[in-house]
Structure 1
Amino acid sequence: MPGIYQRFETSEKIVALTFDACGGKEGSGYDKKLIDYLIQQRIPATLFINSRWIDANPELFQSLAHNPLFEIENHGFLHKPLSVDGRSAYGIAGTQDVGQVVDEVMINERKIERLTGRKPMFFRPGTAYFDDVAVQIVHQLGLKPLNYDVLGDAGATYSTVQVKRALLSVKPGSIVLLHMNMPHGDTAEGVIQAIPLLKKRGYRFVLLQEVAGQLRS
């Protein structure tokens, strides 16, 4: 859909790894193995964090926010698909009207800014779903609607082999969607197996804020 950024233009072998933390009853976990690996290997990553995850993990959130390897971005207040008519995605009901769209974006934006001193640049909704009106609203609120061109773990349901295969499919300028809130999934192992192979191919990793001017829908 026009107005949603899903990759960036570059001739270099660089990609952006993005990790969602969705929050809620079954989504407030922390994949320590994954994050520890990124830190040990000095791999920068953009973290899209939901308000509910922040509330469940306040100390972890502050630790991640203060680590220069990571960029904290907005993954919404209640992790709802972003629509103006309640349209659902993956069985999750979306926001019902313009007011709920604004709340879904701005409540978490203000929380992140208050806790970190930095205003997010990007917004990715729950389930990564936008309708056309919601996209316009996000732009009007001063954020960039962000999705991906490589589905890295399908909500942390992929096997190790599938995660690895997805990561090895990247091209220069790819934005990869993965999850950091499901420690019992295979995301960490897939990432750990793929990163050395991508490095051998000459790839390096960047934060989205570094390539904001090169983003393309």
Structure 2
Amino acid sequence: MTISVRKLLAIAVLGAALAGCSSDPAPAGHGAKAAPGASKPSTDPSAPSASPGQRAPQQAPTLAPAPGGLTPVFSRAPEGGQKVVALTFDADMTADQGPRAASGERFDNPALIADLQRLKVPATVFMTGRWADEYPAEARAIGADPNFEVGNHSYSHYAFKSPCYGLPVVGRDQMRTDVERATASFDKAGVRNAVPYFRFPGGCFDDEVLRALAPLKMTAVQWDVVSGDAFAHNADAVAEQVLAGVKPGSLVVMHCTRSAAPVTDQAVQRIVPELRRRGYRFVKVSELIGSAVKR
């Protein structure tokens, strides 16, 4: 797809900054649309049951393996569907950013979460395990809200393929361990609404990576609308980019990280009412994937 000069410039700036901070993801062209043959929601009787006073975890639909048994990749709902859009927020934090958090840098964004709740916007948060370790109470609260679901964004936020905008790279033999370690962090924090969806740090992957992660039976989730919120300081520009890109069935990537995306909350306050005015309904990624399963 054609990428604007502004987007290319943003990616170039991002590449220089990513080695020490959260990432702005790869362009939408790195993701595939929903593949045919999606699977139905899991009904595994061994799935954990809820403790007294807790809701049972949602069973989210996943896509069938791609040809060759690869992890399937989803980037938007099929064409011709309803006027729905999924807002997704990456809660980025690399494995080595603990000292920066200890010195006061904020990798969370509670005001953004509060506004999504106030505006009654369902959303999917792709959370790193390191973020859940740093902010367990926030991770638990997000995972307890029925309007949210939590996807896996790796533990370390290291890239799974190189080059990837300057991110450190996790070893091929450690990829599954890194994903599973994030899941363990969610469990430790008490996240209830975790779904079997994985987002690659930086959006970077190849067939070898998809093959390596296939045993986890997850669906990789990309996007078709890049918000440009990473390192942005103009909320109106972010909102305009999203509003210009959204189509029925779109999946938007944004961030839930104050230090790297300081104007996301302001942009959302403009995006949500305008898309509703245009007749759009907000959904979680699981509903978009569910629409692919049913077609």
1:7 aligns with 2:76: yes
Q: Structure 2 regions of 5+ residues with no counterpart?
A: 1-30, 33-71
- Alpha carbons of 1:156 and 1:178: their partners in 2 closer, same or farther (altered >3 Å)? farther
CA distance, structure 1, for counterparts of residue 276 and residue 192 of structure 2 = 33
Between the aligned partners of 2:211 and 2:237, the Cα distance in structure 1 is: 34
Structure possessing the higher relative contact order (Cα contacts under 8 Å, 6 or more residues apart)? 1
1:209 Cα deviation after fit: 1.4
In structure 2, the residue matched to 1:111 is 185
One-letter amino acid of the structure 1 residue matched with residue 175 of structure 2 = V
Q: Which of 197, 200, 225 is equivalent to 1:150?
A: 225
RMSD after superposition: 2.2
Partner residue of 2:93 out of 20, 23, 33: 23
Post-superposition CA distance 1:1-49 (Å, at most 9, x none): 5542111125210011000001142685222221111100110000000
Mapping 1:33-72, distance limit 5 Å = 33-72=111-150
2:247 maps to which residue? 171
1:151-197 CA deviation, whole Å, 9 max, x = no partner? 11342436212211122120011110000112661111111112111
For residues 5 and 69 of structure 1, the distance between their equivalents in structure 2, rounded to whole angstroms, comes to 21
- Determine which of 260, 264, 269 is the counterpart of 1:187: 264
Q: Distance in 1 between matches of 2:119 and 2:262?
A: 21
Q: Secondary structure at the match of 2:114?
A: helix
Aligned to 2:196: 121
Q: Which amino acid aligns with 2:283?
A: V
CA–CA separation in structure 1 for the residues paired with 2:254 and 2:194? 22
Q: Is the 8 A contact 2:249 2:288 kept in 1?
A: no
- Measured in 1, the distance between the counterparts of 2:255 and 2:208 equals 27
In the aligned structure 2, how far is the partner of 1:4 from the partner of 1:90? 21
C-alpha deviation, 1:101, in angstroms: 1.2
- Stretches of structure 1 lacking an aligned partner (at least 5 in a row): none
How far apart are the structure 2 equivalents of 1:104 and 1:77?
A: 5
Q: CA deviation at 1:80?
A: 1.3
1:7·1:215 contact (CA, 8 Å) conserved in 2?
A: no
- Corresponding residue SS for 1:120: strand
Label 1:138 to 1:213 Cα distance change in 2 as closer, same or farther (>3 A). Answer: farther
Indicate yes or no: 2:210 matched with 1:141.
no
The letter for the 1-side match of 2:199 is R
Aligned pairs, number: 212
d(CA) in 2 for partners of 1:23, 1:118:
20
Question: 1:120: how far off?
Answer: 2.8
Give yes or no for the alignment of 1:206 onto 2:280: no
Rounded to whole Å, the distance in 1 between the matches of 2:280 and 2:273 is: 10
Moved over 4 A (4+): none
> 154-163 or 125-134: which moved more?
154-163
Instruction: Select which of 192, 202, 206 maps to 1:131.
Output: 206
> TM-score if structure 2 supplies the norm length?
0.66
Give the TM-score, by structure 1 length.
0.88
- The alpha carbon displacement at 1:107 in A equals 1.3
